[in-house]
Copies of this chain bind each other. A is one copy, B any other.
């Protein structure tokens, strides 16, 4: 499937960082869903991040919808999101053509594509490829909202800083949709900005942990064994450049406890089964149990830093030192969160359509 993902609802991605355009094709999506262009633009804006702590490459990223929308609504045919690449500075890459940047895809792309890869700005492996995902995700997010399903992502950790955990989901998810910096504790947000700014000043970068919550998912969605909700969500999350870990509910922490401490007991609450705790993050046996879905991703510090780094010269086979130029983010967590939201929404739309049919979201 490579650059495609999904079963009933499938997303296909194309483009390179410094090519003519990037885009995505969203196929199998329900007909009759209103396409909110203002919301798409707002999501694209969120993906740009806060100017003061983001790359100086700030494309307008105007999304043009080429197909699949008619009279403002989805038609059921493939929806194509098209974004031109305007603000390119490819000359920055010519002199490091044969020097793989540490922790980037440069070397592995070279091995896989025998040197034919478009190396400029990371080519097809650039984080820029997430822009069309955000456009497609915006349509998915709005469709889910109509069904009472809401989601959002905050920066749980950045360097050694830690935001407060989700508590009052409904309110917090609504807040995150409009927050420029996605943190639940504003004081921590200020500190995060400072940490990022400080790393930027010295040509370095920081990473973090993103936490996503979904509320309103009906119980019984997800497929047995290989297509569990956890498998599908992690599959999608690990496609986000820089994600190195995915965990659900308590995640890795759960390994330290006795079963009796972390099992999620059931009880009836107003005729509805609920669990008293949610250590499993809303998923049992790979299937949604009606509780909030909760997961976290580990985002590594942006590998593009401005310090001297050791590398090799693929043309000469000798050791070398690389000094990356160009415009790079000192952190991507505040930008990646909207990508995480988008992929989450796309996975949920797929799983819901698989379970309830392709018209489900339209009903």
Contact = CB atoms under 8 A, between A and B. Distances in A.
A2 B244 contact: no
Interface in A60-82: 64-68, 70, 73-80, 82
A2 B224 CA distance: 6
B245 A248 contact: yes
A182 interface: no
Contacts of A314: 273
A interface majority secondary structure: mixed
B257 A251 contact: no
A67 B319 contact: no
A118 B77 contact: yes
Contacts of A152: none
A94 interface: no
A275 interface: yes
B209 A252 contact: yes
Contacts of A28: 2, 223
Contact of A254 (B15, B227, B244, B273): B244
B204 A319 contact: no
Interface string A238-268: 1101011111111111111111101111111
A269 to B, nearest CB: 10
A239 B225 contact: yes
A75 B123 contact: yes
A266 B219 contact: no
Contacts of A226: 1-5, 13, 235-236, 239
